[in-house]
Structure 1
Amino acid sequence: MKFSPQGSEIEVQARIREADRTLVTIVQDRGPGVPSEMLQAIFEPFTRVEGSESVRGTGLGLAIARRAMLLHGGSVEASLREGGGLIVTLSLPARAAPLRTFYPA
């Protein structure tokens, strides 16, 4: 939302891919996008796209999202949206068993 023009729509779609029981969430905006050579780099900690200096942030959000997805067996990727903007696709497989939380005694 930080990088999208005020008043523009951000589209969010979520569906279950039945073939492998994976939740696929797609977020699309109409912001400035990123240079194609940076589509992987934006998931590295402290990476900021040139020209984003006027927007508050440290460049950690996408790195944290990628780490969280990987820790749960999922993935996240970015691509350029036709007509301008960015598409971020998050894929999270179903778990065979629920996560267990252990609390110290």
Structure 2
Amino acid sequence: GDVVRYLPGGELEFLGRRDHQVKIRGQRIELGEVENALRALPEVTDAVVVSRVDGVGQARLVGYVTGTDGAERIRQELARTLPEAMVPSAVVCLDEMPLTANGKVDRAA
């Protein structure tokens, strides 16, 4: 799933991943698994999970959800079913997901 490019000097430059897999605290995490766990909660209507780098350079999961305003309650419910590394460090409640011009979720927004 890694995407790289070959540089003129013979080195490879890592550009990212083709899939939605990230490494958090040494563990590979499929973001879709965390999103599915969020969507399985009755009060959540939609969810997107992304990896963000915090102020000290550590990758953290952030979950964006619609349908509820109980962010801390959502984290507690996930902690009961997911391994610690898969529980988002923060959950942000949104009125609606940002969309691209063609109607897909805009993960960069």
Same fold at TM > 0.5: no
Select the structure that is richer in strand.
Answer: 2
Select the structure that is richer in helix.
Answer: 2
Q: Using CA pairs below 8 Å that are at least 6 residues apart, which structure has the higher relative contact order?
A: 1
TM-score (structure 1 length as normaliser) = 0.28
